[in-house]
């Protein structure tokens, strides 16, 4: 079982690892209802009880497929926490009125998206709703109005953002209390560690979530890349020391050590990889080992 963590002083308690659903549907494994049920139950059994969605996943179909599974097994809903995201308007035959890819964070759009997600997911409430991408046209007061209405009606319990810069986060947080910022960060994407994003999370006492916590699998596929070669060399040595079953465990342990309390969003569709990720929680790298991996990624020692 994984341990649990509070996202913020006034926020929800989620599992330390989060199950990302993006690849369960037509954007990946194309699972049927029985397969959804099997991997969801296994995830819950392992203590990974928080499931990350977005309205756009699977061209607006993955929430509905997950919801079919919950309709079949409604008792699972009380054993999990559901995150979903809104704000991106994707060009797809499933949304013929979308002429171009754009963002819409208007009050009407947020409420409409949340209502649709509730229906698709076959649930009465969403634990956490995120604005998926910051729009240049977003109006924080209007977003706050939408969040307030959804919370007062019991449809969404907590709110946050995804892919926001520190200044964008501060702007919206000044109007409505946010509990997380879901960002891209990994051994291959170090920017949040230096651009103030993770510093702000520590300052605000909120826990960030990390999508693509293994860098999109680059360390496993792009073997000609010199940075990948350096990371793999150090990682393999640490695998041997900690009796790890895969490099993914070492790289997750590296991310988990950061003082911001990062919650990795796992993108796997395989139970074996899910089990390996849970076992990464047992690995406690030393500070020097952490810096060895940082140096391998950056290509130079710290200044």
Which residue matches tokens 């079949």?
Answer: 72
Structure tokens at 282: 């047992």
Asked if the model's pLDDT at residue 1 lies above 60, the reply is no
Question: What pTM value is reported for the model?
Answer: 0.97
Q: Per-residue pLDDT tens for 247-294? A: 999 999 999 999 999 999 999 999 999 999 999 999 999 999 999 999
- Please confirm, yes or no, whether 125 is among the known catalytic residues: no
Measured CA distances, 130 to 127, 137, 176, 207 (Å): 10, 17, 13, 14
Which residue matches tokens 């497929």?
Answer: 65
Q: Per-residue pLDDT tens for 208-256? A: 999 999 999 999 999 999 999 999 999 999 999 999 999 999 999 999 9
Half-sphere exposure of 20 (CA within 13 A, CB side): 22
Residue of 57, 60, 158, 242 marked active site: 57
Structure tokens at 238: 């640490």
Write down the domain spans for the chain. 4-179
Distance CA 19, CA 236 (A): 26
Contact 69, 80 (CB under 8 A): no
The CA R_g of the chain, rounded to the nearest whole Å, is 19
Contact 31, 39 (CB under 8 A): yes
Per-residue pLDDT at 2: 64
- Beta pairing, strands 102-103 & 88-89: antiparallel
* Helix H or strand E segment including 251: helix 247-256
Contact 120, 67 (CB under 8 A): yes
Name the CATH code of domain 4-179 (choices 3.30.460.80, 3.40.720.10, 1.20.140.10, 3.20.20.100).
3.20.20.100
Per-residue pLDDT at 3: 86
Contact 193, 258 (CB under 8 A): yes
Distance CA 10, CA 82 (A): 18
Q: Can you say whether residue 299 is alpha, beta or left, with left for phi > 0 and alpha for psi between -120 and 50 degrees?
A: left
Distance CA 174, CA 266 (A): 30
């Amino acid at each position: 079982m994984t341990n649990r963590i509070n996202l913020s002083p006034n926020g929800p308690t989620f599992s330390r690892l989060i199950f990302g659903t993006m690849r369960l549907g037509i954007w990946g494994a194309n699972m049927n209802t029985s397969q959804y049920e099997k991997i969801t139950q296994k995830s819950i059994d392992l203590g990974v009880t928080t499931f990350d969605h977005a309205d756009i996943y699977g061209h607006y179909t993955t929430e509905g497929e997950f919801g079919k599974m919950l309709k079949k097994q409604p008792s699972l809903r009380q054993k999990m926490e559901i995150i979903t995201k809104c704000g991106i308007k994707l060009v797809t035959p499933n949304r013929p009125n979308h002429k171009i890819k754009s963002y819409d964070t208007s009050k009407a759009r947020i409420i409409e998206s949340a209502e649709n997600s509730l229906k698709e997911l076959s649930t009465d409430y969403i634990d956490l709703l995120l604005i998926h991408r910051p729009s240049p046209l977003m109006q924080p007061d209007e977003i706050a109005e939408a969040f307030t209405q959804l919370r007062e009606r019991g449809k969404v319990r907590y709110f946050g953002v995804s892919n926001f810069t520190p200044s964008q986060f501060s702007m919206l947080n000044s109007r409505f209390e946010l509990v997380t910022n879901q960002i891209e960060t990994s051994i291959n994407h170090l920017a949040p560690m230096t651009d103030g994003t993770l510093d702000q999370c520590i300052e605000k006492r909120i826990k960030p979530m990390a999508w693509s916590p293994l860098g999109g699998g680059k360390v496993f596929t792009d073997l000609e890349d010199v940075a990948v070669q350096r990371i793999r060399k150090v990682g393999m040595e640490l695998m041997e020391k900690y009796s790890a079953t895969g490099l993914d465990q070492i790289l997750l342990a590296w991310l988990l050590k950061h003082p911001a309390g990062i919650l990795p969003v796992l993108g796997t569709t395989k139970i074996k990889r899910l089990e390996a990720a849970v076992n990464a929680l047992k690995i406690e790298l030393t500070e020097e080992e952490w810096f060895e991996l940082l140096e391998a990624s950056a290509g130079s020692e710290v200044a």
